[in-house]
Structure 1
Amino acid sequence: LKYKRNDISEQRIHEIIVQMRFIDSYATSFFREQAVRILVENGIRVTAYGTGWDQCEWSDNPYLVYGGKVLAPEILPLMNDSKIVLNTMTWFKAGAHDRIFNGMLAGAAVVTDDSTYLRREFTDGKELVMFSRNEIRTLPDRVFDLFGHMQSTQRMADCGYQSAKEHHTWKSRAAWIREAWM
């Protein structure tokens, strides 16, 4: 906006961003809902946590299990009990969300939309499963494949765990920052 309209002040740009923040929340929720919906509509059981899942127009689908709203400290123990962790990032197209690494460190197979960073750091199908928003229709088949080949899925989860443990902990991030900036 600032490059196209140099007549708008920094203060006004900030106000516009704050006023339109709901658009970002809507887009993020929309994509996440699309991913979960396509899974449950194809017969894949998904347990979803957080607000709003019980209010979706398809919340009566028997493959959607609504776990309710959970506090942040409860998320990691839930991941520890999961075989597969689904992540959607929407706008982190050059980075990653800590949910990916937490899922890996919990020993789960992680299924996530891709980013340039994830494509650089990981091999699809080796440490995790990546899909693009443009290929969301392939998501049910990718997840069915994981459930149909649990030994391979466990090997992938184990590779993901090793990679996260060696390269993607908060300690490794702090070391990277220290080396890069100090």
Structure 2
Amino acid sequence: MNVDLYIRNKRRMEVVLETAKLEAKFEIYGNGWENLITNNHSIKVNPAINFRNAYEKIRGSKLVLNVLPNFVYGGHERIFTTMLNGAVSLTDNNLFLQSEFKDGEDLLLYSFPSYPYDRIQSFLDDKVTLQKIAENGRKKVIEKHTWLARAEKIIETVIYHKHFMA
């Protein structure tokens, strides 16, 4: 458990510092960052906020960075929340995200440890395309990736398997 947490935190730190090299201002919300990032003028460190306030911050953002836990196949609430609230999700890649979304059309993917500065900067510079990605992502999440959609899929699966148990 401690090894996994260490790896996740180290990777998160590296990705944040790489993102800060882009020509943009970034804000971080959470505990402990003020001790790690002290003199980077493109990053503003803020204390942790609750989920409701996070929604408001996401709604006012163009791009939200996500660093997945060590999921080989799966998503994270933060990715879907970002997309539902009209921002573009910039997240590391995995098989699930590749199968459900199109990179550069619904969200932006990166593969750790490589980080595509030029590509991400080009999207930040092209506000029309960035807005289109946000709109496409929102539509896909509404179609298939809400809590209601997940609950319906679970019920469908239970009903399907119930027939085999009878």
Check conservation: 1:127, 1:160, Cα contact below 8 A.
Answer: yes
* Alignment match, 1:178: 155
Measured after TM superposition, the shift of residue 100 of structure 1 is: 0.5
Measured after TM superposition, the shift of residue 103 of structure 1 is: 0.2
Max Rg structure = 1
How big is each residue's C-alpha offset from its partner over 1:122-148, in whole Å with a ceiling of 9 and x where there is no partner? 111010011111422x1x223211111
Q: Which amino acid aligns with 2:14?
A: Q
2:60 aligns with one of 63, 81, 86? 81
Query: Normalization by structure 1: what TM-score?
Result: 0.82
1:168 aligns with 2:145: yes
Q: Which moved more, 1:77-86 or 1:105-114?
A: 77-86
Alignment of 1:3-152 (within 5 A): 21-56=1-36, 58-136=37-115, 138=116, 140-152=117-129
Measured after TM superposition, the shift of residue 41 of structure 1 is: 3.2
RMSD: 1.3
**Runs of 4+ with >4 A deviation:** none
Question: Match of 1:89, SS?
Answer: coil
The 2-side partners of 1:146 and 1:54 are apart by 28
Q: Which amino acid aligns with 2:49?
A: V
Check conservation: 1:41, 1:61, Cα contact below 8 A.
Answer: no
Measured after TM superposition, the shift of residue 104 of structure 1 is: 0.3
Query: Normalization by structure 2: what TM-score?
Result: 0.90
Check conservation: 2:30, 2:49, Cα contact below 8 A.
Answer: yes
How big is each residue's C-alpha offset from its partner over 1:93-123, in whole Å with a ceiling of 9 and x where there is no partner? 2101110000000100111001100000011
Measured after TM superposition, the shift of residue 42 of structure 1 is: 4.1
Q: Which moved more, 1:35-44 or 1:142-151?
A: 35-44
Check conservation: 2:23, 2:121, Cα contact below 8 A.
Answer: no
The 1-side partners of 2:3 and 2:49 are apart by 24
The 1-side partners of 2:45 and 2:59 are apart by 18
Q: Which amino acid aligns with 1:114?
A: N
Check conservation: 1:39, 1:45, Cα contact below 8 A.
Answer: no
* Alignment match, 1:3: none
Unaligned residue ranges in structure 2 (runs of 5+)? 160-166
How big is each residue's C-alpha offset from its partner over 1:60-113, in whole Å with a ceiling of 9 and x where there is no partner? 110011121112332212111111111110401210111000000010011100
Aligned length in residues = 159
Unaligned residue ranges in structure 1 (runs of 5+)? 1-20
Check conservation: 1:36, 1:46, Cα contact below 8 A.
Answer: no
Measured after TM superposition, the shift of residue 26 of structure 1 is: 1.4
